[in-house]
Amino acid sequence: MKTQMPKAADKATINSKYLKVPFLVRARPYFIMAPALLITIGIFYPFVAAIYYSLTNYSFRSETYNFVGLKNWIKMATSPEFWHAILVTGKYALATTGSEMLLGLGIALLLSKNNFFTKILKVVLIFPLMVAPVIATLIWQLMTNNSVGILEKFLNLFGIYNFPWASSAKTALFTATVIDMWVYTPFVIILILAGIQSLPKSPFEAARIDGGSAWFTFKNLTLPMLKPYMYIALIFRLMASLQEFAIIFALTKGGPGDTLMNLSITGYTTGFAFLKFGQSLPYVLTLWLIIYFISRKLVSKWLLVQKTAAGN
Amino acid sequence: MNLKLKRICGASVRNTLLALYAVFALFPIFWMILITFKTDAEMYTTTFIFHPTLHNYEEVLLRTDYFWAFLDNIIVSSLAVVVSVLAGVPAAYALARYKFRGKEDLAFTILSFKFAPEILVILPLFMIYQKLGIFDTYFGLIWVYQLITMPLIIWVVRGYFEDVNIEIEQAAQLDGYPWYSVFLKILLPLIKPGLVAAALLSFIFAWNSFTFPLLLSGFKIETVTVASLKYIASDTVHYGQMAVAATVAVIPEVVLALLIQKHLVRGLSFGAVKG
């Protein structure tokens, strides 16, 4: 880091005309940033506190607490709930992110042809993305409800009666995935659409003149050039779906049984429903570790892909 | 002829697929609005043809505290955005224009708030807020909402600052304007459209926030996302009122989204994609 400093100062910045920069000018960016940092770091102190309290038997029931070392962590790692929560977290993230990426890519490609129909769709299709996940869950309960929901009447036409939706362990994940897809697929669509609109024309003309098939053009030109955009969509969606709380909480609070108990919900239940604060923290800290490492991996991958796409 | 037929076929397949997705995306919203006008009795007996009534709106907006939740949501979300803009825009400027030690680390630390699990922040905050006496207060909620609004404002606005040619600033400095006048009189007007869009988008995110208001308030202060839960959980469900609750929460956001369309891609990707 230190060796880079003189180099950085050489570049054209506002202060470059000063040979010896006075302290007040040098410190100016820190002063300018101070309010934002104080506000956010102040709220982020709990993060450090979380690590400390995960090593205690703190509970909302009693005033006093003791330092218990790694007991909470060991208890978590040896409990079946923890491994179940990991599994649910993974399943939910893969199911939602995977289907949103595929559907989003498909719809974005379909929307890339400019005509009257697609122009309107590009405006209205983003509406679900603006809906709060909790409200989206509420809307879908109006759809899936067995007595007044329109979907029940629709499925009756095909001879399916009383489809269980969120109330059965077999279909709960499917139902949550549908709601998640409804809200977030537009996010993937508009990011990939932005990518498609920025594609250069000439390589595609060259491919057409050379007689490349549609599939060949898509696989060797479109997809590699869209990759940076798809990575951005993937990073945002994966990070959010790994910690999804609102949709699952509003839908079943993690049920039926423990079907949808992911790490977020398990941490919440242990901390707030069972009031075992110290024990709940390892769950959410584990979740944070998972998110942290996956996001670092994906971000560096994205930087790499961006370079490759620009080099082509 | 064959080629023309093929093209027409292709177009109709494409449009059919798009129409199917459009139904999936838009029908739930249509259905929600439709049943706000149905009475509880007609809910079970009719589908599309019924006698429209405003009874459900009266019930929800006049006879429950949902309207107050709506007001609380506006107060908390808009003040959170104001704080983020006041503190975040200068920070974005520093990140865009100055070179200083630890700059990128700071920028990424701020971004990481966006990806930190909300529950992880809430568990200790729940305790700290009660100790500080700011549990269930406007101040407490506005503060914690900074984790939602601040990263977005800083990252998106930073990009807009970087888009402004530095020579404009240098010319103004040569003319003798101090740095803060350059910032206020020249830069801010230039990035205004982007700034407004980022502020509105962060308002939408704050408006949609659920976990924070659920666990850090809920008695004196209640947001619509939390208040709507009552309609999901209650046993004697009035579906019409449930739909009104959802509709009232959704309408402001749809309007805002239409206003900031051009800037949406850039805002949603935190400046990573310049749409």
Report the gap between the CA of A42 and the closest CA in chain B (Å): 9
Enter the CATH code of domain A70-311: 1.10.3720.10
Q: Would the CB atoms of B150 and A39 count as touching at under 8 Å?
A: yes
ipTM for the complex? 0.91
Mutation site for A-interface testing, chosen from B30, B38, B115, B131 by largest number of A Cβ within 10 Å: B115
Q: How many domains does chain B divide into?
A: 2
Residue of A nearest to B248 (CA): A135
In a domain, B128, yes or no: yes
The mean pLDDT value for B211-216 works out to: 92
User: Does A9 have pLDDT greater than 70?
Assistant: no
Nearest to B122 by CA among A130, A300, A33, A268: A268
Q: Give residue-wise pLDDT tens across range A301-310.
A: 988 888 887 7
Q: Is the peptide bond before B189 cis (omega within 30 degrees of 0)?
A: no
Q: What is the mean pLDDT of chain B?
A: 88
Cβ B146–A246 below 8 Å, yes or no?
Answer: no
Confidence check: pLDDT of A20 > 70:
no
Parent domain of B150: 64-268
A51 and chain B: CB distance < 8 Å anywhere? Answer: no
Q: Say yes or no to pLDDT of A137 above 90.
A: yes
Do both B31 and B69 map to the same domain? no
Confidence of residue A6 (pLDDT cuts 50, 70, 90): very low
What pLDDT score was predicted for residue B233? 63
**Mutate: best of A135, A152, A225, A248, partner B, most B CBs <10 A:** A135
Q: Which residues of A touch B211 (CB under 8 A)?
A: 245-246
Same domain, B227 and B98: yes
Number of C-alpha atoms within 13 angstroms, CB side, residue B102?
Answer: 7
Q: What is the pLDDT of residues B151-206, one digit of tens each?
A: 999 999 999 999 998 888 888 888 888 888 888 888 999 999 999 999 999 999 99
For residue A36, the distance in angstroms to the closest alpha carbon of chain B comes to 5
Q: How confident is the model at residue B92 (pLDDT cuts 50, 70, 90)?
A: very high
Q: Which among A17-21, A242-246, B164-168 has the top mean pLDDT?
A: A242-246
Assign residue B218 a region: left if phi > 0, alpha if psi is -120 to 50, beta otherwise? Answer: left
More confident residue, A194 or B44: A194
pLDDT band at B235 (very low <50, low <70, confident <90, very high): low
Question: Are residue B88 and residue B126 in the same domain, yes or no?
Answer: yes
Average pLDDT on A126-138 reads 93
Tell me if residue A70 falls in helix, strand or coil: coil
Structural domain includes residue B110: yes
Whether B51 is covered by a domain: the verdict is no
Residues from chain A that touch B110, judged by Cβ atoms under 8 A, are 36, 40
Same domain assignment for residues B82 and B29: no
* A239 closest CB neighbour out of B43, B115, B254: B115
Same domain assignment for residues B118 and B249: yes
Based on the domain organization, do B120 and B179 belong to the same domain? yes
Give the whole-angstrom CA distance, residue A237 versus residue B100: 32
Which tokens hold the place of B244? 């009104």
- Nearest Cα of chain B lies from the Cα of A28 at a distance, in angstroms, of 8
* Min distance B5 CA to chain A CA atoms (Å): 18
Predicted confidence at residue B3, as pLDDT, reads 78
Q: Are residues B130 and B252 in the same domain?
A: yes
A289 touches chain B (CB under 8 A): no
The per-residue pLDDT for B182 is 87
High-pLDDT (> 70) share of chain B, %? 97
Nearest to B124 among A40, A50, A106 (CB): A50
In-domain check, residue B41 = no
Q: What is the pTM of this model?
A: 0.90
Q: Which residues of A touch B257 (CB under 8 A)?
A: 126-127, 129-130
Question: Is the CB of residue A262 less than 8 Å from the CB of residue A248?
Answer: yes
Terminus-to-terminus CA distance in chain B, angstroms? 39
- Who wins on pLDDT, A49 or A127? A127
Token pair, residue A205, equals 């003309």
Domain annotation covers residue B45: no
